[in-house]
Amino acid sequence: MTDARPSILFVCVHNAGRSQMAAGFARALGGDRVQVLSAGSEPADSINPVAVEAMAEVGIDITGTRPRVLAVNDVRTSDAVVTMGCGDACPVFPGKRYEDWELTDPAGLPLEAVRPVRDEIRARVEHLLADLIG
Q: Do residues 43 and 67 make contact, with C-beta atoms less than 8 angstroms apart?
A: yes
Average confidence score pLDDT of the chain: 91
Active site residue 86: yes
Domain boundaries, the chain: 7-133
User: Is the pLDDT reported for residue 1 higher than 50?
Assistant: no
Selected catalytic residue, list 70, 86, 117, 125:
86
Class of domain 7-133: alpha beta
Confidence of residue 90 (pLDDT cuts 50, 70, 90): low
Q: Give per-residue pLDDT as tens, 20-74.
A: 999 999 999 999 999 999 999 889 999 999 999 999 999 999 999 999 999 989 9
Q: At what angle do helices 18-30 and 111-133 cross, to 10 degrees?
A: 50
Of the candidates 8, 9, 11, 12, the residue annotated as catalytic is 12
pLDDT of residue 66: 95
Buried b (16+ CB within 10 A) or exposed e, 52-77: bebbeeeebebeebebeebeeebbeb
| 81 in active site | no
The whole model's pTM is what?
Answer: 0.93
Is 35 catalytic? The answer is: no
- Catalytic residue among 22, 90, 114, 121, which? 90
